Amino acid sequence: MTKHTLNDIAEELVADGQVEEANALLQVQAELDASEKPPGLFKRLSTAVRETAQQQWSHIVGELQESKEAWALIQNRVKTGESMNAVDKEIVRAQLMDIFKVFPATVVATANAAVPIPGSGLLTPWLLNKLGLMPTRWREAHALHELQAQEEHLRSIGDIDHADKVHGVIDQLTADADAREEMEERCALLTVWDANQNGVWDADEIETYRQAVQEIRTKLAEHGQKKQWYFMLHSHVFGPVRLNDIDDWTPDEKLLICFDAKSGWVSFADVIRRDGSLSVSPPALVE
């Protein structure tokens, strides 16, 4: 079956005089494009955009607070430190997914840049990721919701051909998201430093990574007070933040760090390891 992009479908809709439908698909494509921007983008956003994102994030928090069960579970998890059972986690994730269908992931990422400090609020994107409460495919939730609505609309007006093409895009977007989640959870560092993309860490790649870790260690000592640090956990980026503002120094082994959105991502655990050793090795990174 031929793959169709949203841009392709939009062009066909315009040719058929369905401009409103075309614009709806182009807006979704713009959202997906924005979600791929590097972390440095968010520190260059205007004050107005940041303030809007903060306002929308406050709406997200408000929506979640209306779900008393999910909100109580999150409060208890944060205050007591006790892990949730599988049933409770699914309750929270399901409620969050309903909310993220309404708010694009770019809003969450921008709000994260505007309110970057863990602990500054009970509910932040950073905290949700750290607690493992972000639902799968949350970043695509709004786009998928909009595409499903457009597919239903096209079917309702009898445009079955374009509805089927939009459905194909939905299937592809879902498959791509699943593949990305699996890969990033399995070997986030490998995907960053595997220069020749052969699926293993070659000797020169290991040495390049060691040098990058050492450079970050140096920058940590010299620039820890600067608001130029970014973190990535479970494929979600937050920052910029001052490292001196972070009070939790027990990093997840999958927590990655970079400086000024320019250095390569390295393991935070490696950076702050007291003996200067690295926890990563080819056998540990390739499953």
Q: What is the pTM of this model?
A: 0.63
Q: Which residue has the higher pLDDT, 12 or 254?
A: 12
Cα angle for residues 105, 108, 113 (degrees, 5° grid):
130
Q: Which amino acid is at 223?
A: H
Q: What are the pLDDT digits (tens) for 110-123? A: 665 555 444 445 56
Is there a contact between 168 and 36 (Cβ–Cβ < 8 Å)? no
Beta bridge partner(s), residue 237 = 232
Residues 6+ positions from 204 with CB-CB distance below 8 Å = 195
By residue count, the chain amounts to: 287
Q: Order of strands across the sheet with 266-267? A: 236-241, 229-233, 256-259, 266-267
Provide φ and ψ at 58, rounded to 5°. -65, -35
Predicted confidence band at 20 (pLDDT cuts at 50, 70, 90)?
Answer: very high
Lowest-confidence segment of 19-33, 166-180, 193-207, 269-283 by average pLDDT: 269-283
Q: What is the mean pLDDT of residues 200-216?
A: 85
Q: What are the pLDDT digits (tens) for 235-244? A: 666 667 777 6
Beta bridge partner(s), residue 231 = 238, 257
Lowest-confidence segment of 4-18, 151-165, 170-184, 213-227 by average pLDDT: 170-184
The pLDDT score that the predictor gives to residue 156 is 97
Rounded CA separation 151/264 (Å): 40
Lowest-confidence segment of 74-78, 141-145, 149-153, 214-218 by average pLDDT: 74-78
Q: How many CA atoms lie within 13 A of 106 on its CB side?
A: 18
Q: What are the pLDDT digits (tens) for 69-104? A: 888 888 888 777 778 888 898 888 888 888 888 878
Q: Which residue has the higher pLDDT, 101 or 38?
A: 101
> Which range has highest mean pLDDT (192-201, 220-229, 231-240)?
220-229
Lowest-confidence segment of 40-54, 88-102, 227-241 by average pLDDT: 40-54
Domain boundaries, the chain: 37-135, 203-285
